[in-house]
Structure 1
Amino acid sequence: MKTTISQVSKYVGQEVVIGAWLANKRSSGKIAFLQLRDGSGFIQGVVVKEEVGEEIFQKAKSITQETSLYVTGIVREDERSPFGYELTVTNVDVISESVDFPITPKQHGTDFLMDNRHLWLRSKRQHAVMKIRNEIIRATYEFFHENGFTKVDPPILTGSAPEGTTELFATKYFDEDAYLSQSGQLYMEAAAMALGKVFSFGPTFRAEKSKTRRHLIEFWMIEPEMAFCDHEENLVVQENYVSYLVQSVLKNCKLELTTLGRDISKLENIQAPFPRITYDDAIKFLHEKGFDDIEWGDDFGAPHETAIAESFDKPVFITHYPTKIKAFYMKPDPKRDDVVLCADLIAPEGYGEIIGGSQRIDDFALLEERYKEHDLTSDAYKWYLELRKYGSVPHSGFGLGLERTVAWISGVEHVRETIPFPRLLNRLYP
C-alpha cells in the first residue's frame, strides 16, 4: 500500500510504501535509524540487520542526506516519537542519490542559510513554520466564508499609491507610469459597495529601506472591507478573526508547535475580546515608563509598541491616532477631529503591529477636502472619490500582515522564516 507519512496512522501493523527523502541517519551496531521526510511529515525508519539481511542493511547505511528513495516497512505505534509512529523498514530503493548536500546537521550562519533557502525549506523547523502558515491561510478562508464574506482579487499593478506614500516600486505600463500595489484596500472599498462584505488575500510590496526583524519588501496581506460597518463593529470582526486563527493553529498544528518549542500556554489565552487603549492613554503610559522621546503626534516605533504590549497577555488595540499621522481616507472621530476612528492591533511578545484598520470617510465633501490637503490631484484617484458620490454608506476595513502573524503564532524571531522565499532589502536570491 503506497501512502504518505501523514496518513500512516491508518495502516498500523500493515506494510506500506512511502516515497521520501533521507533527512538524517544514525546507526548503532546492527540497527540503522533513518529520519525520513516526504513533505507531509517526518517519521523514523528502523532498519534491523537480522530482519532485512546484509545487502539491504548496507544499502540503508550508505544512503546519503537528501537522497530520494522508496521505503517499504511496517507501521508501528511508538509513544517515544513526537509523531506517535515509526516504520520498521523491510526494503529501500534509491530513486536519486544526493551528493554533498550543503546544509548539514551542524550549525550554519544566517546568510548561508538564506543563500540556500531553496534547500533550507526542507528542514524540520522550516517545514513546521510553513505548515503553520498554511493553516493560517486555510483558517482565513474558512472564517470569512462562514461569516458571509466574498473573496475579491484587487489588481497588483496600480496607477496610484493607496497610502499616498513614496515607498513604491515604479514600473512602466506601456506609455504610462504604474506601481506595484502596497495595498488592495481602495479597490476592496469599491468591491464592498457591490458585494457588502469582501476580503482579499494577495501579495503587496513596500519599497521601505528597513532591515528590522518585522519587515519584508514583499509580503502577503488579508484585507477585509465591510459596508454598513462602523469602527466598533470593525474591531469585533478583527478580534474574532485573530482568535479564530490562533485556536485553529492550536487545534491542527500541535506537532509543528512542539517542533518549534512554542509555549502554547501563551496562545491558549488568545480569545476575544481584546483589551483597548487610546493613543492618548498610550502616550501617557509611555511617559510613565520613561519613554521621553515620544510626544503626542508622533508615531510609535517598535520599542514603544513592545512596552505597551507587555502590559497585556492578549493582543491590544491602540485606537484613535492623530489625524495627521494616518492615511487620508480615515474618518475623523465625530467628537474631536484631531483623531481618527482607527486602530492598530499589537501582538504580544514583541511582535508588533499585525493589523491596521479604520472606519473610512464616507462623506464626499470631506474626502474631496482630504484630496486637496494631500495633493491627490491625479485622475488615478477619481474613481475612489466617486464611491462617495453614488450611494455612499458607513464602511470599515483592515489589513492583517500574514508573515508577522505567522511569526507571532509560531514563535519564530524573524519574518524571513515565515515566507517561502523572502525578499529583503539586500536579498533577491534565490
Structure 2
Amino acid sequence: MKTTIQHIGNYKGEKVRIGGWIANKRSSGKIAFLQLRDGTGYIQGVIVKSEVDEKLFQTAKNLPQESAVYVEGTVQEDERSPSGYELQVSSLEVIHESTDYPITPKEHGTEFLMDHRHLWIRSKKQHAILRIRNEIINATYEFFRKEGFIKVDPPILTGSSAEGTTNLFHTKYFDEDAYLSQSGQLYMEAAAMAFNRVFSFGPTFRAEKSKTRRHLIEFWMIEPEMAFVDHNESLVIQEQYVTHVVQSVLEKCQLELKALGRNTSILEKIQAPFPRITYDKAVEMLQKEGHEITWGEDFGAPHETAIAEKFDKPVFITHYPLEIKAFYMKPDPDRENVALCADLIAPEGYGEIIGGSQRIDDLELMKQRYKEHNLSEEAYRWYLELRQYGSVPHSGFGLGLERTVAWIAGVEHVRETIPFPRLLNRLYP
C-alpha cells in the first residue's frame, strides 16, 4: 500500500511503500537506521542486516544525505518516536543518489543558510515552522468563512498608496507611475460596501531599509473589512480570530511545536477576551518604568515589549493620537485628537501583529483629511466616492502573517517564517 508518513498510523502492522529522502542515518554492524522524510513528516526506517540481503544493507549504510528513495516495510508502534511509529524496512530502491549536500547535521551561519534557503526549508525546524504557517492560513480561511466573510483580492499594482508613497516600490505601468501595494485596505473598503464582510490575503511590500528581526520587504497580510461594524465590535472579532488561529495550531501542529521546543502552556492561555489599555495608560506605564517617551510619540519595539510583559495574553493598545495614525482613521467623537483604533501586541516580545481602526465614513471629514495629508483628489477620487454613495460606519484591520507565525512558533526572526524571505540586500534565492 502506497502512503505518506503523515498517514502511516492508519496502517499499523501492515506493509507500506513510501517515497522520501534520507534526512540522516546511522548504523551499527547489524542494524541501519534511516531518518526518512517525505514532506508530510519524519519517520525512522530500521534495516536489520540478518533480515535483508547484503547488497540492500550496504546500500542503506552508504546512502548520502538527501538521496531520494522508495522504501517498503512494515509499520510498527514505537513510543520513543515523535510520530509513535517506525518502519521495519524490507526493501529499498534508490531513485537518485545525492552528492555533497551542503547543509550537513552541524552548525551553519545564517548567511550560509539563507544562501541555501531552497535547501534549508527541508530541515526539521524550518519544515515545522512552515507547516505551522500553513495551519495558520487554513485556520484563517476557516474562521472567516464561518463568520460570513468572503475573500476578495485587491490589486498588487496600484496608482496610489494607502499611507503615502515614500516607502513604496515604484515602477512604470506603461506610461503611468505605479507602486507595489503596501496594503489592500482601501480596496477592501470598497469591497465591504458591496459584500458587507470581506477579507483579503496576499503579499504586500514596504521599501523600508529596516534590518530588525520583525521586518521583511515582502510579507503577507490578512486584511478584513466590515460594514456596519464599529471599533469595539471589530476588537471582538480580532480577538476571536487570533484565539481561533492559536487553538487550531495547538490542536493540529503538536509534532511541529514539539520539534521547535515551543512552550505550549503559554499558547494555551490565549483565549478571548484580551486585555485592553489606552495609549494614555501605556505611556504612563512606560514613563513610570523609566522609558523616555512623551505623549504623541509612536511606540518602538522596546516599548511594545515592556507593555506586553505586563500581560500573559495579547494586549490591545487603543486610542492612539490621531496625528501619528493614517488619514482614514475615524476620530473618537468624545475626544477628537485620538483615533478609534488599536494595535494588538503579542506576548513574549513579538510586538504588533494587528493594526486596525474604525474608518472615517463622513464625506466632508474625509475631504478635510485629503487636504491635511496632501492627497491627490484625482488619484483617490474613487475612495472618496465610497463616502458619497451610501456611506456607513465600517471598520477593519490587518494581521501580519509572518509576525504571527514567529510568535506562535516561538521563532526569533521573521526570516524563518516565510519560504523565501525578501530582506534588505537579499533577493536570492
Distance of 1:21 and 1:385 partners within structure 2 = 56
The residue identity in structure 1 corresponding to 2:316 is F
Question: Which residue is 1:159 aligned to?
Answer: 159
Structure 1 equivalent of residue 174 of structure 2: 174
Q: Is 1:317 matched up with 2:316?
A: yes
Q: Letter of the aligned partner of 1:184 in structure 2?
A: G
Please name the residue that 1:346 is paired with.
Answer: 345
Structure 1 residue 165, shift from structure 2 partner: 4.3
Take 1:348 and 1:373, find their aligned partners in 2: how far apart are those partners?
Answer: 36
Matched position secondary structure for 2:380: helix
Q: Contact conserved, 1:274 with 1:314, CA < 8 A, in 2?
A: yes
SS of the residue corresponding to residue 369 of structure 2 reads helix
Distance 1:376 1:214 in 2: 29
Q: CA RMSD in A?
A: 0.5
Counterparts of 1:161-310 in structure 2, within 5 Å, are: 161-291=161-291, 293-310=292-309
SS in 1 for 2:379: helix
For the 8 Å contact 1:247–1:268, the answer to whether it is kept is yes
For residue 355 of structure 1, what is the amino acid of its counterpart?
I
Name the structure 2 match of 1:337: 336
- Residue type matched to 1:386 in 2? E
Q: Distance in 1 between matches of 2:387 and 2:394?
A: 11
Q: Which amino acid counterpart does residue 195 of structure 2 have in structure 1? A: L
Q: Which amino acid aligns with 1:188?
A: M
Distance 1:111 1:164 in 2: 33
Structure 2 distance, partners of 1:408, 1:91, is 42
Is the contact made by 2:370 and 2:377 (CA closer than 8 Å) also made in structure 1?
Answer: no
Deviates more, 1:55-64 or 1:263-272: 55-64
Q: Structure 2 CA distance, aligned partners of 1:281 and 1:54?
A: 73
**Aligned partners of 1:168 and 1:46: how far apart in 2?**
54
Identity %: 76
The 2-side partners of 1:172 and 1:35 are apart by 50
**Aligned partners of 1:224 and 1:127: how far apart in 2?**
28
- Which residue of structure 2 aligns with residue 424 of structure 1? 423
8 Å contact from structure 1 (residues 164, 327) kept in 2 = no
- AA matched with 1:41: G
TM-score (norm 2): 1.00
Q: Secondary structure at the match of 1:188?
A: helix
Hey, what's the Cα distance between the residues in 1 that align with 2:80 and 2:181?
49
Instruction: Write the distance in 2 (CA, Å) between the matches of 1:410 and 1:148.
Output: 28
Q: Aligned partners of 2:42 and 2:146: how far apart in 1? A: 33
**Structure 1 residue 426: Cα displacement:** 1.1
CA shift for structure 1 position 301: 0.2
SS of residue paired to 1:393: coil
Give, as a single letter, the amino acid of the residue that structure 1 aligns with 2:342. A
1:33-182 pair list within 5 angstroms: 33-182=33-182
- 1:70 corresponds to which letter in structure 2? Y
SS at match of 1:312: coil
Paired with 1:132 and 1:287, the residues of 2 have a C-alpha distance of: 37
Q: For this pair of structures, how many residues does the alignment match?
A: 429
**TM-score (normalised: structure 1):** 0.99
Residue 413 (str. 1) matches residue 412 (str. 2) = yes
1:311 deviation in Å? 0.2
Runs of 5+ unmatched residues, structure 1: none
Q: What SS is found at the alignment partner of 1:380?
A: coil
Work out the CA distance in 2 between the residues paired with 1:60 and 1:155.
51
Query: Which deviates more, 250-259 or 377-386?
Result: 377-386
Is the contact made by 1:4 and 1:18 (CA closer than 8 Å) also made in structure 2? yes
Q: Is the 8 A contact 1:23 1:37 kept in 2?
A: yes
Distance 2:297 2:262 in 1: 34
What is the CA deviation profile of residues 367-401 of structure 1, one whole-angstrom value per residue up to 9, with x for unaligned ones?
A: 00000000002411110000000000000000000
1:43 Cα offset (Å) = 0.4
* Aligned-partner residue type, residue 271 of structure 1: Q
Question: Aligned equivalents of 2:46 and 2:31: distance in 1?
Answer: 7
- Residues of 2 paired with 1:208 and 1:164: CA distance? 13
Letter in 1 for 2:185: Q
Contact 1:3 1:18 in 2 (8 A): yes
Contact 2:329/2:341, CA 8 A, preserved across alignment: yes
2 CA distance for matches of 1:359 and 1:46? 59
Cα offsets for 1:162-185 (capped at 9, x unmatched): 012410000000000000000000
Deviations 1:16-70 (A, max 9, x none): 1100000000001210000000000000000100011211111110111000010
Letter in 1 for 2:201: F
Secondary structure of 1:329's aligned partner: coil
Residue type of the alignment partner of 2:207? A
Q: Is the 8 A contact 2:24 2:35 kept in 1?
A: yes
Distance 2:358 2:73 in 1: 59
Paired residues of 1:151 and 1:199 also in contact (CA < 8 A)? yes
Q: Distance in 2 between matches of 1:133 and 1:379?
A: 39
**Structure 1: which 4+ aligned runs deviate by more than 4 Å?**
none
Question: What corresponds to 1:358 in structure 2?
Answer: 357
